[in-house]
A and B are shown apart, each in its own frame.
Chain A
Amino acid sequence: MHTEITKQILKKYFKDECDLIGRENFIQLFDESSRVIEADYGENMPIFEVIGFLVGIIGFVDSAFSLYERMTSSTEQNIKSDQFILLARKQLQIPEDVDDSVIISILEMVAKDSKEL
């Protein structure tokens, strides 16, 4: 897991969304012990949509990290950020309603963090 960097990404690019769902919900997004109850019927409150959106971003960051790992394991050479971003945008499912520039910045952060490890 890349919890710290994911938290950084959320706080940097989705600060308003984090403020909207509140601290308690934010902590629960990363809490391993929390279990998701998928309740039926009733109405989902609008805040649920925003929580779902952030869950989508976390999934995207996760899959970007594993893509990077796969790329490094298949070649001996260093991977350039540009190469990674190009492939990631082709292969990964890009979250809806997010600016392209933000997607690129997130992928850059993922590439930079992976290199440092």
Chain B
Amino acid sequence: MKIFAFVIDIYQRNPRRFFLMLIEMISVNPVPLFQIFVALQYPSLISICLTLIAVLVSHFAINCVIMYNLGTDTLKITDGCLAKGATGKTIPLHSILNDRFPFEYSIYNDIEHWLFQMNGLLNKRSLDEMIYLHYAPGQRLCKAYTRSHLFSSHIFISHLPEKDEAIPKFLFLHELFHVFGYVLARPTTISISIPSHLTLVVWSVYFMKWTSAGLASLSMLALLLFIWNERSRWESQRTQVISELLADALALGYMTTEELKLLRSCKAIDRLKDPNFSKTENRFRIASLKAHIDVALAGKKDLIDELKEEEIELRTPPAILITFILSVFFCSTNVNQPLVDDLINMSIFAVLLLLFFLLALFRYMHFSSKLSHALDQSFPTDHLD
């Protein structure tokens, strides 16, 4: 029942967004749709069973990759940072915000509130569980190990901002507000689409009638899959710049006028270059930051507040999505009638993928317990107050 409540919740928030999300979801995982088109041409019990298997196959394929990546990301924290000898303590975010910025303790509640606003029922965890902050004094560490917004991020820093340090405070809040970036940028989309699109290729090649019409529709589908994924890749790069601007703007919302003045007069902000960005992107980002500070200083903070109200979501243009779904349809009109043998073969395919998923899951669980053990050893939890 929870899933229905979740779907209704999204629909009520914004019906247009709901439908766009729906066709995007279909284009991220088009295997079930392909098989539904096939089942409509050859209605039979086999077709219905195959549709169920199509759902399972693409589901397992996607989750194999997610689990595998999650395991690797977890291992990276243990091997890349903890094994190098970093030590310190893990401080819950509410404890830092409470201790360092007592008058703005609401920052914590605000972030949780907005996350709920944007994510709805999807967001069940507290901010303390979404971002783990590891304080490692004297080790010159400023690393963020960020993963999908559905999993926790780990931030390692060797410096906690003092109450009177305007610019370190700004930079600290900026990092926290990146949690919105994960929600908006949806970096997971591309890692989901690749395994499910590969599954679609396997599925459609398997059932294809090898006629010229079949070949033509298959090549059109392959071309569109390529365009779709290239576009997502390009898009996720572009969202990174926007997520920097958004994190800046949100952090500015918690600066006093005095602090804003200090930040505006600090020439060193020109040196805040992101190594992942091009020269132009970095310039654009710094210029926007300065412009936003000026807006806030002119007393128009509500302009910045609008930023977080707005739904800054970059999605695949509907034209690409619709062409893509049409090509899935054309491809499905050139398939052979599914037989019992096909049902058996595809069931074996599903079982194999399930086994791979279980392997990836055990791998993740192993690395995950290794990480939490290492964190307990090197970064025991401690409160500031």
Contact = CB atoms under 8 A, between A and B. Distances in A.
B120 interface: no
Contact of B84 (A22, A39, A43, A53): A39
A20 B168 contact: yes
B138 A35 contact: yes
B81 A50 contact: no
A23 B162 contact: yes
B281 to A, nearest CB: 13
B93 to A, nearest CB: 16
Contacts of B166: 19
Contacts of A37: 81, 84-86, 136, 139-141
A25 to B, nearest CB: 5
Contact of A20 (B139, B145, B167, B175): B167
B238 interface: no
Interface stretch (B72-80, B106-114, B188-196, B353-361): B72-80
Interface string A30-73: 01011111111111111111110100000000000000000000
B158 A25 contact: yes
Contacts of B268: 14, 16-17, 19-20, 50
Interface string B259-277: 0001000111101111110
A24 interface: yes
B143 A28 contact: no
Q: How large is the interface on B (under 10, 10 to 19, 20 to 34, 35 or more residues)?
A: 35 or more
B146 interface: yes
Nearest to B154: A42
A108 to B, nearest CB: 22
A38 B85 CA distance: 9
B145 A97 contact: no
A22 B172 CA distance: 11
Contacts of B8: none
B171 A41 contact: no
Contacts of B160: 24
Interface of A: 14, 16-17, 19-25, 28, 31, 33-51, 53, 97
24 contacts: A16-B267, A19-B165, A19-B262, A20-B171, A21-B159, A23-B165, A25-B140, A25-B158, A28-B138, A36-B140, A37-B136, A37-B141, A39-B80, A42-B77, A42-B145, A43-B146, A45-B144, A46-B171, A46-B274, A47-B159, A47-B168, A47-B272, A48-B143, A97-B271
Interface of B: 76-77, 79-81, 84-86, 136-146, 156-162, 165-168, 171, 175, 262, 266-269, 271-276
Which 8 pairs from chain A and chain B are nearest by CB?
Answer: A34-B138, A22-B168, A40-B80, A16-B268, A41-B80, A41-B76, A48-B142, A46-B272
Given A19-B268, A48-B143, 6 more contacts: A20-B167, A20-B272, A24-B158, A41-B77, A44-B143, A46-B171
